[in-house]
Structure 1
Amino acid sequence: MTSPDSVVVGYDGSPEAALAVRWAARHAALMDCELQVVHCSLWPLLTNDLGPVKGISGSGLQHQAQSILDEGQAEALSAAPRVRTRGSLLYGLPAGHLRRIADNSRMLVLGSRGIGGFMGLLVGSVSLELAATASCPVAVIRFDQNPEGRVVVGIDSSGSAGALGIACAMASATGADLMIIHVIQPHDGPANKPGGGQEAARRLLITAAESARAMAPDVSVRQHIAQDSSVPRALLNTARGAALIVVGSKGWGLLRGTIGSSAHAVLHHATGPVLISRQPQPDGTAGNSKT
């Protein structure tokens, strides 16, 4: 388990994971957090012969695994030379190790499919699993083309306090503007009648904006109401050119251990980093939902 002032990032040597490490390093430095780079080697699942080849210096699977971890730390320092880093070399499947290590941390950062993902999926299986099961917010980095852009956070009728809180923290750390969006769907009621979708959305956004300004008084906060039958589509359209999109999640979605349909769609189609913040359940455990 790490401290609350740490950011954890998984690295396996792939280009996707390198992008995630650089993103994590920059943001850990901005938030004055330690960065923990984790490499999980799968070789012990396949062979017990991890040692060096006799007579060949620097050989062997264990040495190779350590070299990958060292490479990950070097990637971090190339992006943020002053970030505090430490490395962890573990053996076995990555999801369980990363979930355990990231428990209580500020954030877990993953590449889009660099850690055990199936080729052909836009976001890999391990990233999706951890987005659904990790106890801390999970950032999945597919692209990072607009690092100077705004932070966009989608909130539902509950106010999505967890998502709003981490979005404020990210905007404050990076100096970005914050856009809070709520999506009205056709079944939300008459848009222009008292108590209908538009009025309820306006009240919800006013409350959220007040909370955001209290949490991050240095951040410029804007509000946006979108009307669309598809929540992910509205979020993605609003987040064009954003540095980060933050999505809240609660419940258990369609299957236990999977993220909900909206978060799933945003992860697969976003053109920038996505941060999933799971809302605690009434029993205190973290959950995830269709929204």
Structure 2
Amino acid sequence: MLLPVTAGVDGSAESLAATAWAAREAARRDRPLHLVHALAWHPRNQDGDSTGAARRHLARRALRQAEERARAERPGVRFTDEQLEGPATAALLKAADRSGLLVLGSRGLSGFTGFLVGSVALGVVARAACPVVLVRADEEAADEHLPAGDGGASTDTGHRDVVLAVDLGEACDEVVEFAFEAARLRNARLRAVHAWHTAGPVGLGTGDIGLVRESRQGEEWLGVLKAALQVWRDKYPDVEVLETVVEDRPSSALVRAATGAGLLVVGHRVAERPVGPRTGPVTHAAIHHVGCPVAVVPHA
């Protein structure tokens, strides 16, 4: 049984953009699309009968709107829908357990720093068992494609790059494979990015590259990156790969690298901490400050 591409639906512009993106992705992957509405997406006080009926009516309307958006985006996609009871985060995590990919909407960028992604999306990203893609409210199909010759938006041009954040300390197969497959499905170039910094007297890191003269460290890291991805180049011979290393903080380098990309892929180590699951600093920066859709791929 093929696991579906699932979209979280709540009637907002963000969730409709996520539904449209999920419909395109389901068509690319030849998977069904599953639409999920959590009845307690916005928690309220204890429900009486009339309030419960109103919530179910609103849920049904949100699902109908999402179905119409999905049909308009990809008329041939197969889809189902579902209403799940309970807190939104728990409901979406339950849906993620039965999905190959979960797509959620997020608020768009603003001139302010801070939390631009809601607590529900953050909680799901931190704990989901499947990859989660966050999509901005203003995302459209043309945003996945390169501009036309006159600079205008188009869906007839090639796809923008898929950018992969590579941590050479733990280059996880699940994350790399997701990025290569995404690039293959889009016939897009894969741009693999690793950020490095000059090592101090301790903590030299992978391969003790800190022992190399500073002027040559970038070349050494590039060689390590190419070697780490060679097996994936062999597995995906049709995917054009561009490896890039930069001397910078990983979060800053990644936000810059994702400018103009069609999709950013980052990894997230799933681990329980005393204060509960959290995203790491690089994933945190990506999902709050990158304008393109961001795929967060869990790994052990």
Residue 218 of structure 1 and its aligned partner are, at CA, apart by 1.9
Residue 51 of structure 1 and its aligned partner are, at CA, apart by 8.2
- Aligned CA distance change for structure 1 residues 44 and 262 (closer, same or farther; 3 Å): closer
Partners of 2:106 and 2:135 within 8 A in 1: yes
Residue 113 of structure 1 and its aligned partner are, at CA, apart by 4.6
User: Secondary structure in 2 aligned to 1:92?
Assistant: strand
Q: Residue deviations 1:21-42, cap 9 Å, x none? A: 1111101111111111101112
- Aligned CA distance change for structure 1 residues 106 and 215 (closer, same or farther; 3 Å): farther
Report the equivalent of 2:287.
Answer: 267
Which of 39-48 and 134-143 deviates more? 39-48
Report the equivalent of 2:165.
Answer: 154
Report the equivalent of 1:183.
Answer: 195
Residue 222 of structure 1 and its aligned partner are, at CA, apart by 1.0
- Aligned CA distance change for structure 1 residues 76 and 277 (closer, same or farther; 3 Å): same
- Aligned CA distance change for structure 1 residues 44 and 253 (closer, same or farther; 3 Å): closer
Give the counterpart letter for 2:175 in structure 1.
A
TM-score relative to the length of structure 1: 0.82
**1:209-228 pair list within 5 angstroms:** 209-228=229-248
Q: Distance in 2 between matches of 1:44 and 1:128?
A: 20
**1:246-285 pair list within 5 angstroms:** 246-250=265-269, 252=271, 255-280=275-300
Partners of 1:10 and 1:98 within 8 A in 2: yes
Partners of 1:209 and 1:221 within 8 A in 2: no
TM-score relative to the length of structure 2: 0.80
Tell me, which stretches of 5 or more residues in structure 1 are unaligned? 53-58, 115-119, 281-291
Residue 278 of structure 1 and its aligned partner are, at CA, apart by 1.6
Q: Residue deviations 1:52-76, cap 9 Å, x none? A: 9xxxxxx844233212112112111
Report the equivalent of 1:48.
Answer: 48
**1:1-291 pair list within 5 angstroms:** 4-42=2-40, 46-50=46-50, 60-113=54-107, 121-142=115-136, 144=139, 146-148=143-145, 149-157=160-168, 158-187=170-199, 188=204, 190=210, 192-193=212-213, 197-228=217-248, 230-250=249-269, 252=271, 255-280=275-300
- Aligned CA distance change for structure 1 residues 22 and 224 (closer, same or farther; 3 Å): same
- Aligned CA distance change for structure 1 residues 200 and 264 (closer, same or farther; 3 Å): same
Q: Distance in 2 between matches of 1:176 and 1:226?
A: 22
- Structure 1: which 4+ aligned runs deviate by more than 6 Å? none
RMSD of aligned Cα (Å): 2.6
User: Secondary structure in 2 aligned to 1:144?
Assistant: coil
Give the counterpart letter for 2:188 in structure 1.
A
Partners of 1:245 and 1:272 within 8 A in 2: yes
Partners of 1:192 and 1:198 within 8 A in 2: no
User: Secondary structure in 2 aligned to 1:81?
Assistant: coil
Report the equivalent of 1:285.
Answer: none
Give the counterpart letter for 2:174 in structure 1.
G
- Aligned CA distance change for structure 1 residues 191 and 111 (closer, same or farther; 3 Å): farther
